[in-house]
Amino acid sequence: MQGVLRQRAAGEQDLDKLYQAFDQAMSRVGTSGVAHPYETRLTFQVWRTSGELLVRSAEAPLLSAPPAEEGSHDLVENGHEWCGFLLADPQQGFLIWVGERDDVRQDLIQRIVSHTLWPTLIGVPLLVVAIWLAIGWGLRPLQSMARVIRQRDAESLEPLDITPLPKELEPMQHALNRLLTQIESVLERERRFIADAAHELRTPLTILRIHAQNARQAETPEQRLEALDFLVHGVDRAARLASQLLTMARLEPRLEVSQLQTFELNTLVREEMAELTPLALEKRVDLVFEAGDDCVIHSDPSAITIALQNLLTNALNFAPPASEIRVMLNRQEDGSAHLSVEDAGPGIDEKQKARLFERFYSQGHSNGAGLGLAIVDMIVRKLESSLHLRNSAQGGLCAELRIKSRMA
């Protein structure tokens, strides 16, 4: 019995020495400067399952007994709030408690805020200023371009030439220059149209005024009737000239692909000939249409209608009474259409043939404005087709139109 007591006393002495060594080590760590600033706020305690305290850190709260339940719990000791966690080890017979003072978290929050918020408060304004300066510097060429455009007047359409210019802005300058060129082209067409209209309408209007004066000053009913007949013919010629001028103005812009469609050319020719039948009856001219199989093409029906209308009108102007105008249509092996309009008029002079497509040029025996064939030639070029003029077997003009079928 005494031997057992002596062994237990020796064990307790060894345990006391262990506690003392642990406390001394903790003290040395705390004073050496090696320990973390939060060392004294993070503590632990170890008990036996019987409730006997085995070891505790120096700053641990003085607990008379371990908590009754495992897990996390809060407590207050010496005015400090603690957040602790108890873990039981039944096999070894230990209860281990680890605690943390609440002010550790508050201090961590303050340190995090001080280390992140202040650099942010200082850095963000500096970053904003840097971005503002960078954007301002980068947009200087764009501002220069805007200033150049703003200083121009409505009639100044010369291409922009801003140097130096970043590569990123070169496409914008090219696009603006292309737009300015297109606008200049449109304005030039409008100026040319106004000049042509003013020049060509001046003479017909003067003639109309003369016929009106003659009708008013006529001494006999026969003279008045003759003057009125001339007036009616003059009005018809002026109306035809105005219509051709407007047609020319509409056709000058580039042909758009969206205007192309698939249609039957036979039907279009018949409809246009039917439209001009009253004029042909008035002139006592027969309109004859000869066609093979149905001719279906992919092109611009509106443009072809205008071209055919001008060819037929031109033939009616030159065809003598009691003659015929023959229209022939055939489909070619390559898918194109061959359309010819033949009259029995005076034909064409080979020396003047090259000038027949010029605007406002007409042969001496013509009473037209000289725009019909010019309009047809413009349409033919836009449709990538061809027009050939020759004298027909009847002695008149034969206009052969080859219409290309565009890809659908």
Task: Assess contact for 402 and 337: CB atoms under 8 A.
Answer: yes
> Do 213 and 274 lie in a common domain?
no
Averaged pLDDT for residues 297-317: 85
**Which domain range does residue 33 map to?**
12-101
Q: Is the pLDDT of residue 4 over 50?
A: no
Q: Is the pLDDT of residue 129 over 80?
A: yes
Task: Identify whether 231 is part of a domain.
Answer: yes
> Do 277 and 230 lie in a common domain?
no
Question: Which residue among 248, 278, 294 closes a domain?
Answer: 248
Task: Identify whether 158 is part of a domain.
Answer: no
Q: Is the pLDDT of residue 70 over 70?
A: yes
Each as own residue / partner, the long-range contacts of residues 91-95 (CB below 8 Å, 24 or more positions apart, any chain) are 93/48, 93/49, 93/50, 94/46, 94/47, 94/48, 94/49, 94/54, 95/46, 95/47, 95/48, 95/49, 95/66
> Do 278 and 243 lie in a common domain?
no
Question: Which residue among 63, 85, 101 closes a domain?
Answer: 101
Q: Is the pLDDT of residue 273 over 80?
A: yes
Q: What is the CA radius of gyration of the chain?
A: 53
Higher pLDDT, 391 or 63: 391
> Do 308 and 387 lie in a common domain?
yes
Q: How many domains does the chain have?
A: 3
pLDDT of the residue at 289: 93
| β-bridge partners, 299 | 261
> Do 204 and 226 lie in a common domain?
yes
> Kind and range of the H or E element at 47?
strand 42-48
Question: Which residue among 214, 248, 282 closes a domain?
Answer: 248
Quick one: CA torsion of 195, 197, 198, 203, rounded to 10 degrees?
Answer: 140
Averaged pLDDT for residues 282-295: 88
CA distance 169 to 145: 10
> Do 52 and 188 lie in a common domain?
no
Q: Is the pLDDT of residue 288 over 90?
A: yes
pTM above 0.75, yes or no: no
Task: Identify whether 328 is part of a domain.
Answer: yes
Band (33; pLDDT cuts 50, 70, 90) = very low
pLDDT of the residue at 339: 93
* CATH code, 357: 3.30.565.10
> Do 265 and 216 lie in a common domain?
no
> Kind and range of the H or E element at 86?
strand 80-89
How confident is the model over 349-387, as pLDDT tens digits?
666 655 565 655 555 445 544 566 777 888 888 888 888
Q: Is the pLDDT of residue 34 over 70?
A: no
How confident is the model over 10-27, as pLDDT tens digits?
445 545 554 554 455 445
Higher pLDDT, 355 or 329: 329
> Do 236 and 261 lie in a common domain?
no
